[in-house]
């Protein structure tokens, strides 16, 4: 699939007019393309990366190349796709294969999402990137900018947003089913990895299959330790984004879409405290969003590490049920939405959801939504324009957690107003040899 | 000028009863007569800063009638310069003996005796000029304010930067909204320049013959004499001084407090949350360094804000300092607004610049709406003489509140953790152990 050529051809057609193509109108050109396989390269092929390789191979896309800094971690995937080229350094992969790659899937630890994705987009590749979109707010803004410039198809890996259920909930809330919404509560049982711990002092040898320097990527160097890799990097401030970063990008999109949220005016947090090394064991983060047009201001509260909304708040809703470990609660002046249920039940006995207004993902499949986006140009719902906004706001919660102070934001631009000391969390200098 | 008080009473009465009885002498001419007169001033504290004050008021032509100091040697130079002034060691005796021959009192003693001296003078109807910080504890600051109201005397605290045109213009700029909404203020000081973070000396050298040590201690708990406490170095000791923050807070916090009406949070009985981080405080001397965060609520129509104080070599974080052009001075203040910043280098905030500089290249300051000062000390003198001028740092409207803000930082340092100050009740919520620090129990023989 000499894809770039075909894309150039299509672009030329759109610019130059259809008169040269009497037999093939634009429509048939698109459908022709839609039947082609995408040549996919993966940055991160173990863990979540392995699952994504499976998803896209089920969709019969072409698994062209696999890159992982830890070949043992990626061994299962390598075995399943023996024809795929193997790399440790995504920069080398992009360098060698950029003429053949159509799109790149990024499933690395949070701190390398941006370097990998931006490098791919700058080569004109479509990008699917795991959530959270980036490790810091500055990176999220650059991702948005580059995606916009390069006009590539993008999607962040918050797959729940592709389900018709979620999209219907957006429509229900938008239709005013529970009236004017001023309060949102979101909670998770994360972290399920260690947080609130100190940096290990011992320096075990680096496993032979792991390129530790590449794993560290743009982050400040530190010696290898199994406390970081695999998976447990999530709790470490230098690499992950904690419970909020992990789950926030899954659960914030519903209120963002339903309530038309953008940037908050302020964010404050309480937590078990942090030592500058790992995120707190638990936290409660509160966002204040301003009025938007006719919509009233909203207070959104996030709970993790075993914290949940107060029993008082939920007592009329649960009627004796225990509070589930994960959940959402939207409080309107005419009712509530609690984990997908409209309450009080009596009031919504005969409720009919509004006619769909949002597009549905093809076959409710998140991965297919992006694949089609790559082929047709239709933006995915979780494209980087939206995903970078959600990620920025999620990460503002981490800024509040890490500074321990109320963070004030310009709600129009998302720029941090105060405290100035929080700027250190907006972006960081990269280690030598790394750049966006 | 022993009849001065009577004359003033007379004038006041005239104004009340009406001018009908006074055909030959209208109040106007009475005032001008009075203005040509000299104030009879008694100084409590005549060495160090006290000597400086005496010189200033004498230089303005006022009459220094009495000098009081517990340390003859320290006051010797001043005594020599004013050979006709009566000399005292105990201000109570001085006020007792001269109650009818003095108009006003200057107080320049260690912090722990500001209140007893000033209030005793105010109770006699004397005007008071008192050094900063106004008092050692918040209870005293509130008592000072109350006494000034009750006895209708003219007051001024010695934070002389208040009188500078620069500070007043800075206040106008912030209040005019040039910076937009302000949510963040950083103030840092090169103090302490005296020992802090030290232990109480164990040896008991003899008391110098010229010093009345018992009077020096005044209302503070008794302890044996030691040169570690005086002169000057009392500032670092918890029982006598108020540390780096107490010394410089009333100067370096002056501009942001006035501009952002932070004192109104106290006046309006709001809750102020204060957190202190420091090198450790043993209850004997203040810490070697501290960082104090004040969280002020909305007040007087202004948004909540966080003010951070740094001393003992601590400075704002790099993210903040990087916004300041040139070398970072030992002391300074940065007010951070949505639309820009006001940066005042130095201790007294008497000069400033707006940042980012590019953005304010064509800046024109708003039309002045605060009066310009004839001089900090002169404000007080003129007001004492009945001129229509209000000293800007008078106890009632400003100085007691500013001092309360300063002392809240010390309260947080000494209590540890995060304190919630309820300005309506003058209590730290949930911390009864704060009470003796807020309302100090006095040594026998001393009261307010």
- The single residue listed with the structure tokens 């459908």 is A31
Mutate which of B184, B188, B260, B307 to test chain A, going by most A C-beta atoms within 10 A? B184
Q: Residues of B with CB below 8 A from A419's CB?
A: 183-184, 306
Quote the tokens at residue A346.
């009596």
Q: Is some CB atom of chain A closer than 8 A to the CB atom of B323?
A: yes
Min mean pLDDT across A128-132, A230-234, B269-273, B393-397 is at A230-234
| Residue A29 banded pLDDT, cuts 50, 70, 90 | very low
Per-residue pLDDT reduced to its tens digit, B308-332: 999 999 999 999 999 999 999 999 9
Q: How far is CA A15 from CA A20, A72, A86, A152, in A?
A: 12, 48, 38, 18
Predicted confidence at residue A1, as pLDDT, reads 45
Instruction: Please determine, for residue B25, whether its predicted confidence score (pLDDT) is greater than 80.
Output: no
Quick: pLDDT tens for B258-316.
999 999 999 999 999 999 999 999 999 999 999 999 999 999 989 999 999 999 999 99
The mean pLDDT value of chain B amounts to 92
pLDDT at B36 (0 to 100): 54
pLDDT in tens, A133-185: 999 999 999 999 999 999 999 999 999 999 999 999 999 999 999 999 999 99
Kindly report, residue by residue over A287-327, the tens digit of the pLDDT: 999 999 999 999 999 999 999 999 888 888 888 888 999 99
**B93 contact partners, CB below 8 Å, separation of at least 6:** none
- Where residue A26 falls among pLDDT bands split at 50, 70, 90? very low
CB contact under 8 A, A419 and B306: yes
Identify the pLDDT of residue A319: 84
State whether A424 and B318 contact (CB < 8 Å): yes
Q: Please tell me the predicted confidence (pLDDT) of residue B2.
A: 42
Tell me what percent of the residues of chain A surpass a pLDDT of 90: 88
Find, among B444, B407, B132, the residue nearest to B272 by Cα.
Answer: B407
* B194 Cα to chain A: minimum distance (Å): 30
H-helix or E-strand spanning residue A212: helix A212-216
Full set of structural domains in chain B with CATH: 7-161 (3.40.50.720), 163-195+233-372+403-438 (3.30.360.10)
Has residue B437 got a pLDDT over 90?
A: yes
Q: 């470990």: which residue's tokens?
A: A325
Residues A70-123: pLDDT tens digits? 999 999 999 999 999 999 999 999 999 999 999 999 999 999 999 999 999 999
Average pLDDT, chain A: 92
Tell me the whole-structure pTM to 2 decimals. 0.82
Checking if the pLDDT of A4 tops 70, the result is: no
| B336 vs A: CB within 8 A | yes
pLDDT of residue A12: 39
CA–CA dist A112, A91 (Å, integer): 12
Cβ of B319 and A417 within 8 Å? Answer: no
Q: Encode pLDDT of A363-392 as tens digits.
A: 999 999 999 999 999 999 999 999 999 999
Closest by Cβ to A424, choosing from B306, B316, B319: B319
* Cβ-defined contact of B317 to A424 (cutoff 8 Å): yes
Quick check: A2 pLDDT over 80?
no
Select the residue from A409, A418, A427, A428 to test the B interface by mutation, using most B Cβ atoms within 10 A.
A418
Q: Report yes or no: A276 at the B interface, CB cutoff 8 Å.
A: no
Is the CA virtual torsion A416, A422, A425, A430 positive or negative?
A: positive
* Interval A260-280 mean pLDDT: 96
pLDDT at B24 over 90: no
The verdict on a CB contact (< 8 Å) between A418 and B323 is: no
If you count residue pairs, one on A and one on B, with CB atoms under 8 Å apart, how many are there?
A: 31
Tell me the three state secondary structure of residue A183.
strand
Of A406, A418, A424, the CB nearest to B336: A418
Cβ of A420 within 8 Å of Cβ of B306? The answer is no
Q: Do A410 and B318 touch (CB under 8 A)?
A: no
Evaluate the CA torsion angle A89, A91, A95, A99 in order and state its sign: positive
The Cα of A425 is separated from the nearest Cα of chain B by a number of Å equal to: 10
In sequence order, what E strands does B127-181 have? 127-130, 155-157
B228 touches chain A (CB under 8 A): no
Give the DSSP per-residue string, B204-244: -PPPPTTB-HHHHHTTSPP----TTTTTTGGGGBTTT--HH
* Mutation site, B317, B321, B343, interface A, largest A CB count within 10 A: B317
What pLDDT score does A34 carry? 52
Q: How confident is the model at residue B20, as a pLDDT?
A: 38
Q: How confident is the model over B223-256, as pLDDT tens digits?
A: 999 999 999 999 999 999 999 999 999 999 999 9
A421 and chain B in contact, CB less than 8 A: yes
Which residues in B lie closer than 8 A to residue A421 (C-beta atoms)?
316-317, 319-320
Beta carbons of B253 and B405 less than 8 angstroms apart: yes
- pLDDT tens figures, A217-259: 999 999 999 999 999 999 999 999 999 999 999 999 999 999 9
- Among A408, A417, A421, beta carbon nearest to B319: A421
Helix (H, G, I), strand (E, B), or coil: what is residue A87?
strand
pLDDT (0 to 100) of residue B28: 40
**Distance linking the first and last C-alpha atoms of chain A:** 29
Contacts of B342 in chain A (CB under 8 A): none
Share of chain B above pLDDT 70, in %: 92
Structure tokens at A159: 């797959």
d(CA B124, CA B146): 14
Asked if B279 has any chain A CB less than 8 Å from its own CB, the reply is no
Model confidence at A430: pLDDT above 70: yes
B101 to chain A, any CB pair closer than 8 A? The answer is no
Mark out the alpha helices in A212-286 (DSSP H runs). Answer: 212-216, 242-251, 253-259
Q: Which residue among A418, A421, A423 sits closest to B183, beta carbon to beta carbon?
A: A418
Each residue's pLDDT tens digit, B82-111 = 999 999 999 999 999 999 999 999 999 999
Neighbouring-strand partners of residue A40: A63, A103
pLDDT over 60 at A51, yes or no: yes
pLDDT at A33: 54
Which pLDDT belongs to residue A35? 62
CA distance B427 to B432: 8
Residue B5, pLDDT above cutoff 50: no
Q: What is the mean pLDDT of residues B41-54?
A: 97
Partners of B355 on chain A (C-beta within 8 Å) are: none
Give contacts of A 380-409 with B, CB under 8 A: 405-406, 408
Residue B172 has pLDDT above 90, yes or no: yes
| B317 min Cα distance to partner chain A (Å) | 6
Q: Alpha-carbon dihedral of residues B194, B195, B201, B203, nearest 10 degrees? A: -50
**Identity of the residue in B183, B317, B318 whose CB atom sits nearest the CB atom of A408:** B183
Residue in chain A closest to B317 (alpha carbons) equals: A421
B183 touches chain A (CB under 8 A): yes
Determine contact: B386 vs chain A, CB below 8 A: no
């Amino acid at each position: 699939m000499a894809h770039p050529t075909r894309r150039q051809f299509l672009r030329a057609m759109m610019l130059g007019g259809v008169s040269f193509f009497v037999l093939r109108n634009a429509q048939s050109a698109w459908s022709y393309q839609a039947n082609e396989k995408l040549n996919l390269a993966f940055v991160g092929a173990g863990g979540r990366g392995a699952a994504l390789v499976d998803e896209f191979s089920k969709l019969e896309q072409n698994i062209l190349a696999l890159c992982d800094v830890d070949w043992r971690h990626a061994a299962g995937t390598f075995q399943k796709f023996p024809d795929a080229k193997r790399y440790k350094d995504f920069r080398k992969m992009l360098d060698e294969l950029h003429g053949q790659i159509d799109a790149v899937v990024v499933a690395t630890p949070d701190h390398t999402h941006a370097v990998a994705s931006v490098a791919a987009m700058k080569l004109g590749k479509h990008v699917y990137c795991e959530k959270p979109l980036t490790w810091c707010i500055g990176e999220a803004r650059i991702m948005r900018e580059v995606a916009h410039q390069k006009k590539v198809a993008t999607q962040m890996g918050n797959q729940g947003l592709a389900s018709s259920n979620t999209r219907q909930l957006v429509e229900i809330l938008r239709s005013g089913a529970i009236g004017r919404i001023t309060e949102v509560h979101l909670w998770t049982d994360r972290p399920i990895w260690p947080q609130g711990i100190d940096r290990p002092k011992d320096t075990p040898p680096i496993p032979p299959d792991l390129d530790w320097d590449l794993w560290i990527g743009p982050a400040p160097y530190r010696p290898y330790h199994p406390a970081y890799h695999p998976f447990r990097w999530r709790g470490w401030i230098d690499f992950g984004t904690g419970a909020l970063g992990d789950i926030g990008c899954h659960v914030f999109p519903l209120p963002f879409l339903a309530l038309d949220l953008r940037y908050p005016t302020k964010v404050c947090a309480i937590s078990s405290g942090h030592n500058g090394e790992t995120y707190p064991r638990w936290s409660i983060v509160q966002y204040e969003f301003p009025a938007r047009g006719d919509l009233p201001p909203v207070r959104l509260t996030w709970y993790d590490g075993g914290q949940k909304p107060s029993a008082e708040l939920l007592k009329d809703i649960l009627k004796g049920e225990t509070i589930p470990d994960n959940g959402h609660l939207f409080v309107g002046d005419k009712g509530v939405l609690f984990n997908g249920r409209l309450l009080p039940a009596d009031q919504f006995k005969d409720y009919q959801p509004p006619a769909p207004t949002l597009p549905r993902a093809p076959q409710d499949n998140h991965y297919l939504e992006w694949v089609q986006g790559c082929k047709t140009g239709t933006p995915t719902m979780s494209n980087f324009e939206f995903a970078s906004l959600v990620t920025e706001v999620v990460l503002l919660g981490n800024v509040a957690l890490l500074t321990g102070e109320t963070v004030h934001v310009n709600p129009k631009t998302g720029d941090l107003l105060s405290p100035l000391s929080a700027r250190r969390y907006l972006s960081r200098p990269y280690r030598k040899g790394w750049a966006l | 000028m022993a009849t001065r008080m009577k004359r003033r009473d007379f004038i006041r009465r005239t104004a009340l009863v009406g001018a009908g009885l006074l055909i030959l002498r209208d109040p106007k001419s009475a005032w001008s007569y009075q203005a040509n007169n000299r104030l009879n001033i008694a100084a409590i504290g005549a060495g160090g800063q006290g000597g400086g004050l005496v010189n200033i008021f004498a230089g303005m032509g006022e009459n220094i009638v009495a000098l009081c100091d517990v340390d003859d040697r320290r006051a010797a130079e001043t005594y020599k310069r004013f050979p006709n002034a009566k000399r005292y060691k105990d201000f109570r005796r001085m006020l007792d003996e001269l109650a009818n021959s003095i108009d006003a009192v200057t107080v320049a003693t260690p912090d722990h005796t500001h209140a007893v001296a000033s209030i005793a003078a105010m109770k006699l109807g004397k005007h008071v000029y008192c050094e900063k910080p106004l008092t050692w504890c918040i209870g005293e600051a509130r008592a000072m304010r109350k006494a000034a109201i009750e006895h209708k005397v003219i007051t001024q605290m010695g934070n002389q930067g208040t009188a500078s045109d620069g500070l007043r213009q800075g206040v106008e700029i912030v209040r005019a909204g040039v910076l937009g909404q302000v949510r963040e203020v950083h103030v840092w000081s090169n103090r302490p320049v005296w020992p802090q973070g030290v232990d109480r000396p164990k040896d008991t050298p003899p008391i110098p013959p010229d010093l009345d040590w018992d009077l020096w201690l005044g209302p503070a708990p008794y302890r044996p004499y030691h040169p570690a406490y005086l002169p000057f170095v009392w500032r670092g000791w918890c029982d006598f001084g108020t540390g780096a923050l107490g010394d410089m807070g009333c100067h370096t916090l002056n501009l942001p407090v006035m501009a952002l009406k932070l004192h109104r949070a106290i006046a309006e009985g709001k809750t102020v949350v204060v957190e202190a981080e420091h090198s450790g405080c043993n209850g004997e001397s203040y810490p070697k360094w501290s960082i104090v965060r004040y969280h002020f609520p909305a007040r007087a129509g202004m948004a909540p804000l966080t003010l951070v104080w740094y001393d003992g070599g601590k400075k704002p974080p790099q993210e903040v300092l990087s916004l300041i052009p040139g070398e970072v001075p030992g002391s300074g203040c940065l007010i951070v607004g949505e639309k820009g910043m006001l940066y005042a280098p130095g201790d007294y905030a008497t000069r400033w610049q707006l940042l980012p500089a590019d953005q304010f290249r064509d800046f024109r300051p708003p039309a002045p709406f605060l009066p310009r000062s004839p001089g900090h000390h002169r404000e007080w003198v003129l007001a004492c003489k009945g001129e229509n001028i209000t000293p800007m740092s008078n106890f009632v409207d400003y100085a007691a509140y500013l001092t309360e803000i300063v002392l809240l930082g010390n309260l947080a340092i000494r209590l540890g953790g995060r304190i919630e100050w309820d300005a309506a009740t003058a209590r730290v919520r949930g911390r009864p152990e704060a009470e003796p620090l807020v309302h100090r129990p006095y040594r026998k023989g001393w009261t307010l």
